[in-house]
Amino acid sequence: MRITRMVAVAAVAALSLGIAACGGDDGGDSGDTGSGSKSFEAGSTMEKLNKAQKITIGTKFDQPGFGLKGLDGKPAGFDVEIGKLIADELGIADDKITWVETPSAVREEKIEKAEVDLVVATYTINDKRKERIDFAGPYYEAGQNILVKADDTSITGPDSFKAGDKKVCSVQGSTPATNIEKYLANKASQLVVFDVYQKCVDALTNGQVNAVTTDNVILLGFIARNEGKFKLAGENFTKEPYGIGLKKGDNAFRTFVNDTLETLFKDGRWEKAWKDTAGKYVDETPTPPTINRY
Amino acid sequence: MSVLVDHFDVFASGFWLTFQLCLLSAVGALILGTLGAVMRISPVPPLRWVGTAYVTVFRNCPLTIVFFFAAFGLPSLGSNADFLKIPGLSSIFSRLGIDLPYFRFAIIALSVYTGAFVCEAIRSGINAVSPGQAEAARAIGLTFTQNLRFVVLPQAWKAAIVPLGSVIIAMIKNSALAGFFGLVGDLSNGAQNLTSALGEPIIPVFIGVSIGFLIMTVPLGLLLDRIERRRAVAR
């Protein structure tokens, strides 16, 4: 009991130190920023949030590397860092942010009902979603990739499956499973599908399959959890631009978030956020995507 | 309902694969079950214990768990069930011989699970043979094996065939689980793919799947009815 408590205390101490360190590095204008140090156009969403000194941000709580709620109750990851940086630019300190879990199915609804001010939750920009909400960004471009064992050099990309001797696993009824099918020589002897990715990773570990395929961010999460066992094979072969979900029609706020993202891209804070979180498990830092101001 | 026509190939190939799985598993279950029943009535105590333990474990475990151990437990023990790559059979049932082991794992799970029920059905059949038969056979000097082969089992089969049929029908329905343990392209997996990846409406797809299963189970049920009626006449 005592040991557990000591470990917990140590963990909390370490984490708070880490967070404090991050806050310090993030940029001079964060931290002790009060409402007075930023000024926004009267009546805008930015001014409202700045005056209230609080913001509600939706993210995922189960996406390692992007938004994962740990035992300390605080979400951490690249999406969370982006959320904090935007709050910084609004003159809101990190501890004034309320984090709300927004799983994929409820993201549009939460935005429409104004339960969250913005959503940063591995949120792929597409036209169907744009009918209900608006997107700022993209701030990251994900894509489908392939996970293989760390010592496997025989798979270099989706084309490696065309020979017909490599087996791949994905999740039942998912877009990645459909995408990979066109690279397979024989579906029956090359494709396995399960209900969750963990089973695919087990099959990869035990050698029933040679690879697992889905969005690179999910794969990065598995690399993170099994350090040194797996790696990505080659480049992404599809494009999933991640945007920040905002209430439809608030163009001033959208422009502000877009401007903020461009600033973050330029002054290196975006790169730092990436390297501190999801980027820990890949060698190269991606180039920031081009903001799409539609 | 247009999905039944548009994606007829999915249903047809799914039916064919499920049928292969059921056929092979039924054979496996009957072999395992008969062996188990023989063990349970054998005069050798350790064999009886093994038989009883087998039935107790597999009849009382949820099928999902059995499937789970077959699909994830065997691989971690280092087995890909390669002993099921039987040369002649693999050329007829192509899935049996391929590198991906999940078809073989499904056969193992279904056979082992159903085998426990088959064992009990056969044992009930054996119990229905009057003790006098076995005693008479022993009295004329038949060994245990001869006794089983020529006297007890032939009569036991007749008494057991109807409960056995029910066990096999249950097994056919249970085979729907295989699609959730890595078997690609059977009826349940095909349906899952149609509804979630291609966005087809759920109800027509499931009607299609039901038809697929009914094609296998209804004729089997009718056959059992006929056998039962014949037996009634014979008595």
B99 and A189: CB-CB below 8 Å?
Answer: yes
pLDDT at A12: 54
Is 2.60.40.10 the CATH classification of the domain at A144-232?
no
- CA–CA min distance B88, chain A (Å): 19
Separation of alpha carbons B157 and A204, rounded Å? 44
- What secondary structure does DSSP assign to B100-149, as a single string? -THHHHHHHHHHHHHHHHHHHHHHHHHHHS-HHHHHHHHHTT--HHHIII
Please answer whether residues A229 and A107 qualify as being in contact, where contact means their C-beta atoms are separated by less than 8 angstroms. no
- CA–CA min distance A146, chain B (Å): 18
pLDDT at A4: 58
pLDDT-based confidence at residue B227 (cuts at 50, 70, 90)? confident
Q: Which residues of A52-67 are buried (b: 16+ CB within 10 A; e: fewer)?
A: eeebbbbbbbebbbbb
Separation of alpha carbons B60 and A139, rounded Å? 53
pLDDT-based confidence at residue A31 (cuts at 50, 70, 90)? very low
B193 and A190: CB-CB below 8 Å?
Answer: no
3-state SS string for chain A: CHHHHHHHHHHHHHHHHHHHHHHHHCCCCCCCCCHHHCCCCCCCHHHHHHHHCCEEEEECCEECCCEEECCCCCEECHHHHHHHHHHHHCCCCHHHEEEEECCHHHHHHHHHCCCCCEEEEEEECCHHHHCCCEEEEEEEEECEEEEEECCCCCCCCHHHHCCCCCCEEEECCCHHHHHHHCCCCCHHHHEEEECCHHHHHHHHHHCCCCEEEEEHHHHHHHHHHCCCCEEECCCCCCCEEEEEEECCCCHHHHHHHHHHHHHHHHHCHHHHHHHHCHHHHCCCCCCCCCCCCC
Note the ipTM here.
0.75
Looking at the predicted structure, is the pLDDT value of residue A9 above 70?
no
Select from B157, B147, B150 the least CA-distant residue to B126.
Answer: B157
Average pLDDT, integer, range A53-64: 88
B196 and A174: CB-CB below 8 Å?
Answer: yes
Looking at the predicted structure, is the pLDDT value of residue B43 above 80?
yes
What number of C-beta contacts closer than 8 Å exist between A and B? 61
B184 and A178: CB-CB below 8 Å?
Answer: no
Please answer whether residues B14 and B101 qualify as being in contact, where contact means their C-beta atoms are separated by less than 8 angstroms. no
pLDDT at B208: 92
Best residue in A208, A210, A214 to probe B by mutation, most B CBs within 10 Å? A208
Looking at the predicted structure, is the pLDDT value of residue B67 above 80?
yes
Least confident of A91-105, A114-128, A278-292, B119-133: A278-292
What phi-psi label fits residue B182: left (phi over 0), alpha (psi between -120 and 50 degrees) or beta? left
Q: What pLDDT, in 10s, does the model give residues A159-191?
A: 889 888 899 998 876 778 888 888 998 888 899
Q: What's the CA dihedral at A241, A242, A245, A251 to 10 degrees?
A: -50
Kindly list the residues from chain B whose CB atom is less than 8 angstroms away from the CB atom of residue A173.
192-193, 195-197
Q: What angle do CA A184, A189, A192 make, to 5 degrees?
A: 85
Please answer whether residues A288 and A275 qualify as being in contact, where contact means their C-beta atoms are separated by less than 8 angstroms. no
Mean pLDDT computed over every residue of chain A: 82
pLDDT-based confidence at residue A215 (cuts at 50, 70, 90)? confident
Strand partners, A213: A146
Is 3.30.2350.10 the CATH classification of the domain at A36-142+240-281?
no
Out of A172, A206, A207, name the one closest to residue B196 (CB). A172
Separation of alpha carbons A184 and A176, rounded Å? 13
A208 and B184: CB-CB below 8 Å?
Answer: no
Q: Does B182 touch chain A (CB under 8 A)?
A: yes
pLDDT at B20: 94
Separation of alpha carbons B154 and B4, rounded Å? 44
Indicate where chain A has its CATH 3.40.190.10 domain(s). 36-142+240-281, 144-232
CATH of the domain at B170: 1.10.3720.10
Q: Which domain holds residue B213?
A: 2-234
Out of B75, B195, B197, name the one closest to residue A177 (CB). B197
Separation of alpha carbons A202 and B139, rounded Å? 58
Separation of alpha carbons A132 and A112, rounded Å? 8
Separation of alpha carbons A104 and B210, rounded Å? 31
Separation of alpha carbons B168 and B161, rounded Å? 10
Question: What are the percentages of helix, strand and coil residues in chain B, rounded to 5?
Answer: 85, 0, 15
Interhelix angle B8-41/B45-59, nearest 10 degrees: 150
- Half-sphere exposure at residue A247, Cβ-oriented, CA atoms within 13 angstroms: 13
Q: Does B9 touch chain A (CB under 8 A)?
A: no
Q: What pLDDT, in 10s, does the model give residues A127-169?
A: 878 888 999 989 998 889 999 999 988 998 888 898 888 999 9
pLDDT-based confidence at residue A83 (cuts at 50, 70, 90)? very high
Separation of alpha carbons B109 and B21, rounded Å? 11
Out of B75, B94, B184, name the one closest to residue A193 (CB). B184
Of residues A201 and A172, the one with the higher pLDDT is A201
Q: Does B98 touch chain A (CB under 8 A)?
A: yes
Q: What is the DSSP letter of B175?
A: G
Strand partners, A193: A170
Kindly list the residues from chain B whose CB atom is less than 8 angstroms away from the CB atom of residue A167.
99-100
Please answer whether residues B106 and B183 qualify as being in contact, where contact means their C-beta atoms are separated by less than 8 angstroms. yes
Separation of alpha carbons B201 and B194, rounded Å? 8
B197 and A188: CB-CB below 8 Å?
Answer: no
Q: How many domains does chain B have?
A: 1
Single-letter amino acid code for the residue at B142: L
CA distances from A239 to A56, A132, A140, A142, B13 (A): 28, 22, 10, 6, 33
